[in-house]
Amino acid sequence: MSLPPFLKPGEKVVLYDGVCKICNGWVNLLLRLKLSRRVRFAAVQSEEGKALLRFAGLPDENIRTIVLIDGDRHWIRAEAILRVMRLLPFPWGLLSLPGLFIPHFISNFFYNRIALNRYRLFGRYDTQHPVTSDYPGRFLHA
């Protein structure tokens, strides 16, 4: 198993849209809920994010989804969100339990509806949103 670039053994990475306001809000929520420090973050627009997308065999341009990379495996869309939620400490990790009973094609249908309209519904930043200094070492990009 080859190690994803920029990560240490045992680390995972969440790739997110750095100009999307709801995506940035979700990342900030994960950090406030004390997601394991073994999970790091990178915007898909960053060079680190693009390199990780290529590592996972995904296109590095115009990607419109959340990606979780763990070693040589990756998950996208709703499955990535549910797997990240399982990593949250108790009781927050329990929020992922309903997702165990919903088929992926249904959860991804709803994920895709939100993703296609996220900028219109929630807004977007003109450039990649800057990372706050409250969480040093959590982001792969500066």
CB of 141 within 8 A of CB of 47?
A: yes
Confidence (pLDDT) at 133 = 57
Q: Are strands 73-76 and 67-70 parallel, antiparallel or unpaired?
A: antiparallel
pLDDT in tens, 75-112: 999 999 999 999 999 988 888 888 788 998 999 999 98
pLDDT in tens, 13-32: 999 999 999 999 999 999 99
* pTM assigned to the model: 0.91
Residues in the chain: 142
Sheet architecture: strand order including 73-76? 39-43, 12-16, 67-70, 73-76
Token output for 43:
């915007």
Count helices and strands in the chain by DSSP H and E runs: 4, 4
Q: Which is more confident, 75 or 131?
A: 75
Q: What pLDDT band is residue 131 in, cutting at 50, 70 and 90?
A: low
Q: Catalogue all structural domains in the chain, each as residue range(s) with its CATH number.
A: 12-122 (3.40.30)
Collapse the DSSP code of 45 into the 3-class scheme (helix H, G, I; strand E, B; otherwise coil) and give the result.
coil
Peptide bond into 91 cis (omega under 30): yes
Confidence (pLDDT) at 89 = 92
Confidence (pLDDT) at 132 = 64
Q: How far apart are the first and last CA of the chain?
A: 28
